[in-house]
Amino acid sequence: MCAHHMIQGMELAGSCFYKAFGLFDTMRHHISIQGVISGTIPGRIFLSNDGDTAVLSNPQGIFLGGSPDNKAFFKEINMLLQEILLPQLASKGELDYVLYYPTDEKWEAALETVMKGIRPMKSGRMTFTQHLEGVAGPFGEDIIAIDRELLKQRHLAGLEDIIHEILDGWPSQAAYEKDGFGCAAIQHTEEGPAIVSWCLTDWVVGQECELGIQTVASYQKKGWARKVALGALSLAKQRGIASVGWQCWSDNIASQRTALSVGFTLFGDFPVLFGWNLPLNNLLVNGNYYMHGNIKYGIAPDYARSAWSYAQALDQGWDWNGDAGLYWNAACMFYLTGEQERAQHYYQKAIQKGWRDIHQPHYHNFIYKEANSEQIARILTESIE
């Protein structure tokens, strides 16, 4: 039977997931959808009363499928996102979400209803595929399988990151040990043996799987990602996997190069919406995003929107533990929109938080560093002296 009735639809019990099977046909490249429907991957499905539209959530993200003409259902989904789904993700420590939808013009209008008041941003994802014909050979040097034995070696630096990644996508570590696989690169460091790169299955559905990959920053651009990816592909072939998927952000050039270097081919480049689950966090990310925009997806810089977004969070004291760069950005955005007094206010706040100039080290790249940055700093400094 089905459970959790809504007004315009219902949340399906697992035994009823099959009812949404045909609604995601245009997104078959996301094998995690079929994983939820088949019971392999944890997830939830909400179906409209007419059975024509569905929303599916799983560890990969939130997916819209079926008809884009169900406005009443989408209004209810909007409330569900704001009041239940996104807060639940935040309560589990998940910073952000990705919303996937069919690349159809009609869906663009539907998105306005689904995401009203949530303030998502537009970006892109790329998906690659590999059918393993040319994959052969043993693991490379220093590459070992991520299996039950490795996961017992708690002394290994970096192992907790792998376990966290496994638990993000798999129902349990035991489920991964039974059906999942991957490879890691281990190097000896001053602190002892450490995992410096890894590639493992986000999920396995039938004869398909999808890989995730990560390399410690100081070991990047040294070939480790390629080695662990080849190791994971070798394991996939040994296990009879027919097709392997790989996804990354459209601006993640390093991930794309690694995928192509081990024989993947590009399947699709598609738009997505994303945001952070806590509203105040999301406002700061909106400030960062609209400061530069995203030209590839038609989003021009919007200084006024960026300034407003920063102010909404910073005025409530939400500044990522005193991040001076956020106040600097806000000062620049207000200056560029002609609001001199507010620019001065946030510039003073930036200085109080330890801001010196655009050349000081910073832990993220979202700092306003343009040709006019020095001039803005000089004018604002003179105005508050």
Q: What letter does residue 144 receive in the DSSP assignment?
A: E
Question: What is the spatial distance between Cα 106 and Cα 114, in angstroms, rounded to a whole number?
Answer: 13
Same domain flag for 186 and 70: no
- The tens digit of pLDDT for each residue in 64-123 reads 999 999 999 999 999 999 999 999 999 999 999 999 999 888 998 999 999 999 999 999
- CA 235 vs. chain centroid, Å, equals 26
Same domain flag for 230 and 324: no
Picking from 240, 267, 294, the residue at the C-terminal end of a domain is: 267
Same domain flag for 12 and 50: yes
- The tens digit of pLDDT for each residue in 33-46 reads 999 999 999 999 99
In a domain, 280, yes or no: no
Largest CA distance in the chain: 71
- The tens digit of pLDDT for each residue in 221-232 reads 999 999 999 999
Q: Model's pTM, two decimal places?
A: 0.93
Same domain flag for 150 and 188: yes
State which residues form the domain around 339: 304-384
Q: What averages of pLDDT result for each successive group of 10 residues across the chain (385 residues)?
A: 70 95 92 95 96 96 97 96 95 95 91 97 96 79 92 92 93 95 92 93 96 94 94 95 96 95 95 97 98 93 98 98 97 98 98 96 93 97 90
Nearest to 120 by CA among 299, 317, 328, 357: 299
